[in-house]
Chains A and B, each alone.
Chain A
């Protein structure tokens, strides 16, 4: 079994599909902000020192820290 990939594993420019969350409390906030299972995310920016990161989801840009990104499980897109 390979462990599930998360948004934190994405490199700049990579895209993936959200499949679920691992943190009950954060998942509500993320859902409300438009991170829906089934929607596509693209990692667009990494702040200095590699954290936080910015992703594009539901047509807008959302920032989050690496540890928060690590709670969003993804299915990487082959491109």
Chain B
């Protein structure tokens, strides 16, 4: 445990807590312009003065101390429990000055919990363009706290905040107004008798929210229920009356401290940029059209524009591989290094441009505020399928990676909507599928064919794969909705933030971080699996590998040495451990059109699908007639011949069957682990694994049988 003081950042969603966190700590916590970017707590260190450090705790946004979803619950579990390891010494309430009254509601509740509090007024510039001038000195006097004016995005006002925090930390002063509404003295006494001396308002919070607070045992919860019953205490009524009462008092404060320059009741509404943009983006027809167009451009870009840097990387990796082969002595280890590791890592690196484009578009959606609009226009449609407008965020970010996407479901208030969203999000095509799609599409979809000279056919196919994933996600959601006949209330009361211009420097950093994480995370797995696979593919049970050498030589006495070596290599792969595994599952995957070599790839990508491309390159380099001049994975797969027909193995039927399989199959341990963590049960990851894999098998079977 550190002895440093701890400060929690509290505030309404999208008030700028994470931006402030980043500018105080120098860290790069994810920010965005929609409510609910932060789903978990994050800690960083703020060097308030040289030599004096403070722990800063960034928390999900809340509108009040009465939680309505899981991310909000987390905050109350910390603020309501002084024994919690994250319980802060003081709080900075970050308030959006352009919506002062609502932000002050939360401020007054946090202060009354007995936590020393500083009020940080953010977005004063926005308030001023809307015609509100805030007298923060007067506000500080009225509320009896230190007030600092900040601009969290630009990092302005940190000095003032430093002063306010130092003062508040020094005297640990919590200006506490006591209970907002009087209750029976015996009620508070009764709680304190059982649960210890505490601030009266905190005691009341315990009483009202005990079911959401992890600090209480089942017996203690029953005790709270009994107290509620004994005093006929209605929590919901109290909360509502308390809120009204607080607003009444705050209205007067705001009245005295804020000058409204456009006060007239019926003043003609000022058309802001946000209004103008919304009349397009939220339009009943135009809104959908624009959204679809945006997605379409995004996938064209991912496929077409990214092709140039990709070709460069591809050539670079092939060059490095050839160079290594010429300088290193020809040995088994060199083979592992070049065909296993370099080819495998190259297989990931080549997709960096595509992934960067993808992250760029997602960052644009999040930064500008358009994401909330997508939730708005999609809510009705999503609800028909058992989802919720808020499911759009996990589904869209699932295109990058299902792990953070599943975590982002915490803002969905209804358990049923949230569960269904978690279950179907992995069907969205994540960035690990992108390499597989790209390789397979380039094998089976003709290149450069354009429809009306406008679109790249391969780009269109890629768009189709993503669309397929999305359609399967909402269809599965609909099926689950039919199974889970839970009557639970879900609501869609959500704030639409104003549009903000994207900060490109900020986006560049976040794209860089995401790409780095992708390369290193995927890279680690690929290196590990490549080594294991290489061993399994180079050795076989008993002395079978030696036998192979002899047998092939005896069977083909006339073959030239080169061709003979290839034949032996191919035969050896088949007799190796990996080959045995592949043959073992071949009967199961034969109906999908796959041979034992693809079987090996299916086995290795069981835990993480991103190793598919690396596995393919290892397998085909070990066991095929490969021309080393063109040693890219694409060329190797293209050269592969189906022994039964004598034609290229990767024809349309097999290509599409594999594409469909990888689109639907659950091949990601991290996702299953996240599902377990978020649902707190092994049941749901198990269901997720089996339904997705079954779906993948069936769909690939149908595809192959129809096309073959």
A52 to B381, CA, bound (A): 10
Q: How many A-B residue pairs have CB under 8 A?
A: 117
A42 to B239, CA, bound (A): 26
Tell me the chain A residues, 33-79 only, with Cβ under 8 Å from chain B. 33-34, 36-37, 40, 42, 44-52, 54, 56, 58-65, 68, 79
Tell me whether A58 and B102 are in contact in the complex, defined as CB-CB below 8 angstroms, given that A28-B243, A31-B244, A48-B287 are known contacts: yes
Closest chain-B Cβ to A47's Cβ sits at a distance in Å of 5
Asked whether B488 is an interface residue with its Cβ less than 8 Å from the other chain, the reply is no
Cβ-closest chain B residue relative to A34: B102
* A-chain residues with CB within 8 Å of residue B265 when the two chains form the complex: 40
The answer to whether B492 and A58 touch across the interface, beta carbons within 8 angstroms, is no
The answer to whether A47 and B376 touch across the interface, beta carbons within 8 angstroms, is yes
The answer to whether A62 and B494 touch across the interface, beta carbons within 8 angstroms, is yes
* B-chain residues with CB within 8 Å of residue A58 when the two chains form the complex: 99, 101-102
A68 to B244, CA, bound (A): 19
Cβ-closest chain A residue relative to B62: A32
Closest chain-B Cβ to A29's Cβ sits at a distance in Å of 6
Asked whether B569 is an interface residue with its Cβ less than 8 Å from the other chain, the reply is no
| A61 interface neighbour in B64, B239, B279, B496, Cβ under 8 Å | B496
Asked whether A19 is an interface residue with its Cβ less than 8 Å from the other chain, the reply is no
The answer to whether A44 and B278 touch across the interface, beta carbons within 8 angstroms, is yes
| A64 interface neighbour in B239, B282, B287, B493, Cβ under 8 Å | B493
Tell me the chain B residues, 221-271 only, with Cβ under 8 Å from chain A. 236-237, 239-240, 243-244, 247, 265-266, 269
| A20-33 Cβ-contact flags toward B at 8 Å (1 or 0) | 00001111111111
The answer to whether A64 and B99 touch across the interface, beta carbons within 8 angstroms, is no
The answer to whether A33 and B493 touch across the interface, beta carbons within 8 angstroms, is yes
Interface size class of B (residues with CB under 8 A): 35 or more
Tell me the chain B residues, 190-248 only, with Cβ under 8 Å from chain A. 236-237, 239-240, 243-244, 247
The answer to whether A47 and B380 touch across the interface, beta carbons within 8 angstroms, is yes
The answer to whether B243 and A31 touch across the interface, beta carbons within 8 angstroms, is yes
| B463-498 Cβ-contact flags toward A at 8 Å (1 or 0) | 000000000000000000000000001011111101
The answer to whether A59 and B99 touch across the interface, beta carbons within 8 angstroms, is yes
A40 to B377, CA, bound (A): 24
The answer to whether B379 and A65 touch across the interface, beta carbons within 8 angstroms, is yes
The answer to whether A48 and B285 touch across the interface, beta carbons within 8 angstroms, is yes
Determine the main DSSP class of B at the interface with A: helix
| B491-514 Cβ-contact flags toward A at 8 Å (1 or 0) | 111111010000000000000000
A54 to B283, CA, bound (A): 12
* B-chain residues with CB within 8 Å of residue A63 when the two chains form the complex: 372, 375-376, 379, 389, 492-496
Tell me whether A28 and B240 are in contact in the complex, defined as CB-CB below 8 angstroms, given that A48-B287, A51-B380, A63-B376 are known contacts: yes
Closest chain-A Cβ to B335's Cβ sits at a distance in Å of 58
* B-chain residues with CB within 8 Å of residue A30 when the two chains form the complex: 493
* A-chain residues with CB within 8 Å of residue B64 when the two chains form the complex: 32
* B-chain residues with CB within 8 Å of residue A62 when the two chains form the complex: 493-496
Question: Most chain-B Cβ atoms within 10 A of its Cβ — which of A29, A30, A79?
Answer: A29
* A-chain residues with CB within 8 Å of residue B495 when the two chains form the complex: 33, 60-63
A56 to B98, CA, bound (A): 14
Cβ-closest chain B residue relative to A25: B236
Cβ-closest chain A residue relative to B282: A45
The answer to whether A47 and B284 touch across the interface, beta carbons within 8 angstroms, is yes
Cβ-closest chain A residue relative to B389: A52
Asked whether B130 is an interface residue with its Cβ less than 8 Å from the other chain, the reply is yes
Cβ-closest chain A residue relative to B286: A48
Question: Most chain-A Cβ atoms within 10 A of its Cβ — which of B64, B381, B496?
Answer: B496
Asked whether B138 is an interface residue with its Cβ less than 8 Å from the other chain, the reply is no
The answer to whether B493 and A54 touch across the interface, beta carbons within 8 angstroms, is no
A37 to B243, CA, bound (A): 12
* B-chain residues with CB within 8 Å of residue A79 when the two chains form the complex: 266
Asked whether B66 is an interface residue with its Cβ less than 8 Å from the other chain, the reply is yes
A47 to B376, CA, bound (A): 7
Cβ-closest chain B residue relative to A24: B236
Query: Could you list which residues of chain B lie within 8 angstroms of chain A, going by C-beta atoms?
Result: 63-64, 66, 68, 98-99, 101-102, 105, 130, 236-237, 239-240, 243-244, 247, 265-266, 269, 274-275, 278-279, 282, 284-285, 287-288, 372, 375-377, 379-381, 389, 489, 491-496, 498
With A45-B376, A54-B376 already in contact, 9 other A-B pairs whose C-beta atoms are closer than 8 Å: A27-B240, A28-B240, A29-B491, A32-B66, A34-B99, A36-B247, A44-B278, A58-B101, A68-B491
Query: Could you list which residues of chain A lie within 8 angstroms of chain B, going by C-beta atoms?
Result: 24-34, 36-37, 40, 42, 44-52, 54, 56, 58-65, 68, 79
Could you give 22 example pairs across A and B, Cβ below 8 Å?
A: A24-B237, A25-B236, A28-B66, A28-B243, A29-B63, A31-B247, A32-B102, A34-B102, A44-B278, A45-B279, A46-B284, A47-B282, A48-B381, A49-B284, A51-B379, A58-B99, A58-B102, A61-B496, A63-B379, A63-B389, A64-B491, A64-B492
4 A-B pairs with the lowest CB-CB distances in the bound complex, closest first: A61-B496, A34-B102, A45-B282, A32-B63
